[in-house]
């Protein structure tokens, strides 16, 4: 692994040349003019001079000591430390110490890291907070290896939750199942036919409904997909599969979760994120209801994870934020800064917009969920009030269109706008240098590369993969790189993401040598993607992403040194403690749970009957 180590800059006053300070002392009428008085004045002046020439003492009430600490400095260099001073009142760092530095003697709080590795809290630059929470309390099919296994889980879940009017879940992947096709309504009916069932694909860009769900949504032979969507049919009849914008035809009929269920989902999501060391998440597609859940948690002092929010639609953005990004709320825990937009769909459902037909479906080129005119109008509207766009673009056709739109709008707004392109998975090599212009941020998810590798090869063929998941090429063009997971599409654990970023290999070490290994990044660059790069992407680089004076004391205590580990070892990293704002927010149990799932297992328990509001 290649990374540079920078010496820590000393904190406090540093004088490179001798300085002399002169103080005038006014003599009061009743002051005695004695030699002892003059000596006292002289000594006070001398002590003042000496005090000003010495380093200022650290003003901190708490110390994390005996740490094997790593952080990045403002120039991106890796910095080592053994002590972290912070103010528990403000939750901010007041200084870093190395082994040679004296420790303050008067401390309100001292915590011994016992030589463990300490790093800044990690930031997921692209997630779906409430989606993660709902996935934890609804039916989760992400770990299923076959259609038969999924059907068995549906039956078990249905039997365990007899009061639910609808069975809702997500996570299926026909590619993992080796099915060679989408599951259909008939497949779901074989497991549950009496109640409506709606199951969203792992990428969130397709769903399958049983016949009861289609009846509840009034889907008939004459039903038509809206622009940007597709209804799969067999013999002219809808077969239960709805892609991208067509998903709304079913989702509009699904009962809206009651507030207690939403609150439970947020609690579940926060617990999952904290356990993986994610102290801040960018929430892509925040709805008005989602915002209410986050505000409710903030009002109750129950919002632990920091959330940088991007609204799911313009109306929600303007209703909540008005004429500009909201201020930071709840001590820097919540802020809405922009809008999530979609240029195309996903590769797995062949919704990603390509420049040429799919290799495995020559009659399809994907779906344009927004045309150029719409994107230009939206970006212009956002720019007026300094809102930040985050534009989903996966296919090379979508990325080219989005780049063209940004280039046009950026000529009118030449200041710091940080135009975000989310995913940027398949890019024509000739377009990659364009990411290095106009301050564009490539918000990418390393784990997508290993999850999608075989599918991408099938969808595109061997000759169109050169610009696929091109992290290193993006960096070399000058683009700003931010990393995330796209949870719940992928597991939110950032350590497999770090491992993939430096190896281009999956959990089984495949392929040997890494897939398109020239697109690997260094450990420092991968670390930056989940820290300083992700903070910068959300206009939060002044407060999170690294540990330094004035930054929030968001940090993790790990079970291993990730900077002295193989990709396989990094992948298995365990977070022992998660601290946010100088508070110990999450602690792993000292005794391992023999029933705990493996690190890459499906997330969260199934919802229990006594936790469900009637009518959900």
Looking up residue 144, the CATH number of its domain turns out to be: 3.10.310.70
**Domain assignment of residue 178, yes or no:** yes
CA angle 224, 395, 338 (to 5 degrees): 85
282 lies in some domain: no
SS3 216: helix
Burial pattern 223-243, b for ≥16 Cβ within 10 A else e, equals: eebeebbbbbeeeeebbbbbb
Q: State the pTM of this model.
A: 0.81
Element at 117 (helix H, strand E): strand 117-120
Phi, psi of 426 (to 5 degrees): -120, 110
Q: Per the domain annotation, does 56 fall within a domain?
A: no
Q: What is the pLDDT of residue 590?
A: 44
- Residue 518: the pLDDT is 97
Averaged pLDDT, 429-454: 97
Say which residues have a Cβ less than 8 Å from residue 557's Cβ, sequence separation at least 6: 67, 113, 116, 117, 118, 575, 576, 577, 579
Residue 424 has pLDDT above 60, yes or no: yes
Query: CA 355, CA 352: separation in Å to the nearest integer?
Result: 10
At residue 338, does pLDDT exceed 50?
yes
Confidence (pLDDT) at 22: 26
Query: Is 597 within the bounds of a domain?
Result: no
What pLDDT score does 203 carry?
86
Token couple for 265: 């989902």
Identify the H or E element spanning 72.
strand 68-72
Does the residue 242 lie in any domain? yes
Rounded to 5 degrees, φ, ψ at 78 are -80, 130
When pLDDT is cut at 50, 70 and 90, the band that residue 594 belongs to is very low
User: For position 608, what pLDDT does the model report?
Assistant: 31
Does some domain include residue 569? no
Largest CA distance in the chain: 111
Per residue in 96-130, pLDDT tens? 999 999 999 889 899 999 999 999 999 999 999 99
pLDDT at 108: 87
Q: Has residue 78 got a pLDDT over 90? A: yes
Distance CA 153, CA 395 (A): 33
**Token duo for residue 48:** 């003042």
Residue 575's CB is within 10 A of a number of other CB atoms, namely 23
Q: For the ranges 31-35, 207-211, 349-353, 610-614, which has the lowest average pLDDT?
A: 610-614
Q: Is residue 156 part of a domain?
A: yes
- Report the distance separating Cα 363 and Cα 357, nearest Å: 7
Cα separation values, 213 from 141, 186, 194, 238, 339, Å: 18, 12, 10, 12, 31
Distance CA 367, CA 294 (A): 32
- Are 483 and 441 in contact by the 8 Å Cβ rule? The answer is no
Mean pLDDT of 439-455: 96
Tell me which residue range forms the domain holding 146. Answer: 130-257
Answer whether residue 173 is part of any domain: yes
User: 598 versus 575: which is more confidently predicted?
Assistant: 575
pLDDT at 2: 35
Q: How many domains would you assign to the chain?
A: 1
DSSP 485: -
């Amino acid at each position: 692994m290649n990374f540079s180590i920078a010496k820590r800059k000393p904190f406090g006053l540093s004088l490179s040349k001798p300085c002399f300070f002169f103080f005038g002392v006014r003599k009061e009428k009743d002051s005695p003019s004695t030699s002892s008085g003059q000596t006292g004045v002289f000594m006070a002046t001398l002590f003042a001079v000496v005090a000003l020439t010495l380093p200022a003492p650290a003003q901190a009430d708490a110390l994390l000591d005996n740490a094997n600490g790593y952080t990045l400095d403002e120039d991106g260099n890796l910095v080592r430390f053994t002590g972290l001073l912070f103010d528990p009142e403000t939750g901010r760092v007041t200084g870093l110490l190395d082994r040679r530095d004296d420790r303050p003697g008067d401390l309100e709080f001292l915590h011994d890291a016992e030589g463990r590795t300490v790093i800044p809290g990690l930031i997921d630059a692209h997630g779906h907070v409430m989606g993660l929470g709902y996935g934890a309390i609804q039916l989760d099919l992400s770990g299923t290896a076959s259609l038969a296994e999924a059907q068995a889980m549906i039956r078990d879940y249905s039997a365990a939750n007899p009061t639910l009017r609808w069975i809702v879940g997500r996570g299926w992947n026909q590619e993992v199942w080796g099915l060679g096709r989408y599951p259909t309504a008939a497949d779901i009916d074989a497991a549950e036919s009496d109640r409506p069932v709606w199951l969203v694909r792992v990428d969130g860009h397709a769903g399958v409904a049983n016949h009861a769900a289609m009846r509840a949504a009034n889907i008939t032979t004459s039903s038509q997909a809206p622009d940007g969507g597709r209804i799969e049919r067999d013999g002219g009849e809808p077969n239960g599969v709805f892609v991208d914008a067509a998903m709304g035809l079913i989702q509009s009929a699904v009962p809206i979760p009651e507030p207690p269920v939403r609150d439970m989902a947020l609690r579940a999501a926060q617990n999952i994120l904290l356990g993986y060391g994610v102290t801040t998440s960018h929430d892509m597609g925040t709805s008005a209801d989602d915002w209410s859940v986050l505000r409710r948690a903030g009002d109750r002092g129950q919002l632990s994870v920091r959330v940088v929010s991007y609204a799911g639609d313009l109306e929600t953005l303007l209703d909540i934020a008005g004429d500009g990004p909201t201020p930071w709320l709840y001590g820097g825990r919540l802020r809405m800064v922009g809008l999530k937009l979609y240029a195309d769909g996903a590769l797995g459902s062949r919704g990603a917009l390509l420049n040429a037909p799919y290799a495995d479906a020559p009659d399809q080129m994907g779906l344009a969920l927004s045309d150029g005119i719409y994107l230009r109008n939206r970006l212009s509207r956002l720019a007026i009030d300094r809102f930040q766009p985050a534009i989903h673009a996966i296919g090379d056709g979508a990325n080219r269109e989005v780049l063209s739109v940004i280039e046009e709008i950026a000529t009118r707004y030449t200041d710091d706008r940080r135009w975000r392109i989310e995913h940027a998975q398949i890019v024509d090599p000739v377009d990659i240098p364009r990411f290095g212009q106009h301050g564009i941020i490539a918000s990418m998810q390393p784990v997508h590369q290993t999850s999608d590798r075989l599918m991408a090869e099938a969808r595109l063929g061997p000759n169109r993969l050169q610009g696929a998941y091109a992290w290193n090429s993006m960096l070399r063009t000058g683009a700003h790189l931010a990393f995330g997971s796209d949870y719940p599409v992928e597991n939110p654990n950032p350590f497999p993401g770090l491992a993939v970023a430096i190896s281009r290999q999956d959990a089984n070490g495949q392929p040997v040598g890494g897939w398109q290994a020239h697109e690997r990044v260094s450990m420092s660059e991968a670390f930056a993607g989940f820290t300083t790069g992700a903070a910068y992407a959300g206009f939060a680089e002044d407060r999170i992403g690294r540990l330094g004076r004035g930054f929030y004391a968001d940090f993790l205590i790990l079970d291993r040194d990730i900077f002295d580990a193989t990709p396989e070892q990094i992948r298995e990293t365990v977070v022992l403690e998660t601290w946010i704002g100088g508070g110990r927010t999450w602690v792993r149990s000292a005794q391992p749970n023999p029933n705990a799932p493996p690190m890459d297992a499906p997330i969260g328990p199934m919802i229990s009957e006594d936790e469900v509001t009637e009518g959900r």
